[in-house]
Amino acid sequence: MINPAFEPYLRLARENPEPSPLSVSTDERRSAFRNEARALRGDIPVEVESRDFVLPLQGRELSARLYVPHSDEGRGLVVYFHGGSFVVGDIETHDWLCRRLAYDTNMRFLSIDYRLAPENPFPAALDDAVDTLRYVFAHLSEFASHGSRLIAMGDSAGANLVTVASRLLRDDEIDLAAQVLIYPTLGPELVTDSAHRFATGYFLNLDYLRYDYRQYLGEFGDHTDPRVTPLLCNDLTGVAPAIVVVAECDPLRDEGVAYAGLLGHFQVPVEILEAEGMAHGFLEMGGVVPEALAIVDDLAEHLQRLVSVTP
């Protein structure tokens, strides 16, 4: 059952449905997503400073924003990959969430402006995630204190990138302290029970997500490739310990739970945090839904504990 605090926003969304991606341009969708993020953000923590960077990856440059809390304890640097169905979203849409989590965790956050579809189809965004983590690990002193642990975090589409990047980097000399997956999308098939129950009317429209997967994949048609559908990975042994956040009224809930189970099957330490009564995208709604803000704070506590016990 949806949390009552969400009811007015769900009602507004249902009365003013998001235009079909077939009827508006990609730029219009991105602009609308930014406007929505600005309307929902909470108070900006003044105890967090930020500065922008350009990451010089091979053959391209990516924009990034580093968040430094005044209470930085030097324990961790979180590299954050935003959500937005691989098509929308950027540093600005997730600015408040990164600031709030930096404030709550006393850790630095580095938010990444990875390449979006359809201009840059698969595997461009994934390559950006993998290469960003490699670059940051090799230049950690430029972004964080000596001894800081490296953590990968993402929401929705960004969480998909984190799951795959964590596995692809498993055999490198890169030590990820944790991977944090916030209501992850884990493949384009979308056939779970929660996908059917919450397909429309709960902020994330699955028909639109299917369309965006087509934009993301472009001419790549193999949905069984674990880089596309991480749920089909046949070996997760040794990947970074995980926190998986799922929302009760999210069409992606069941696949997040299933991925947590898959991690556990391969003896990967995993915590699953289920947000009762919440819908997809609830963490970004902390400015208008107090219960969502409480879960942001709870996630921060779990991340602090995980990093402190990870060797």
Does 43 participate in catalysis according to the annotation? no
CA atoms within 13 A on the CB side of 252: 35
Rg (CA), the chain: 18
> Please, what is the Cα angle at 98 between 92 and 99, to 5 degrees?
95
Active-site residue, selected from the candidate residues 104, 113, 254, 280: 280
* CA 289 to chain CA centroid, nearest Å: 19
Does 308 participate in catalysis according to the annotation? no
Beta strand spans in 82-218 (E) = 108-113, 149-155, 176-182
Cα–Cα distance measured from residue 19 to residue 275, given in angstroms and rounded to the nearest whole number: 28
Q: The dihedral of CA 203, 115, 20, 162: what is its sign? A: negative
Active-site residue, selected from the candidate residues 156, 194, 212, 254: 156
Cα–Cα distance measured from residue 16 to residue 34, given in angstroms and rounded to the nearest whole number: 17
Helices (H) and strands (E) in the chain, counts: 9, 8
Cα–Cα distance measured from residue 29 to residue 116, given in angstroms and rounded to the nearest whole number: 13
Cα–Cα distance measured from residue 160 to residue 158, given in angstroms and rounded to the nearest whole number: 5
Does 20 participate in catalysis according to the annotation? no
Active site residues: 156, 250, 280
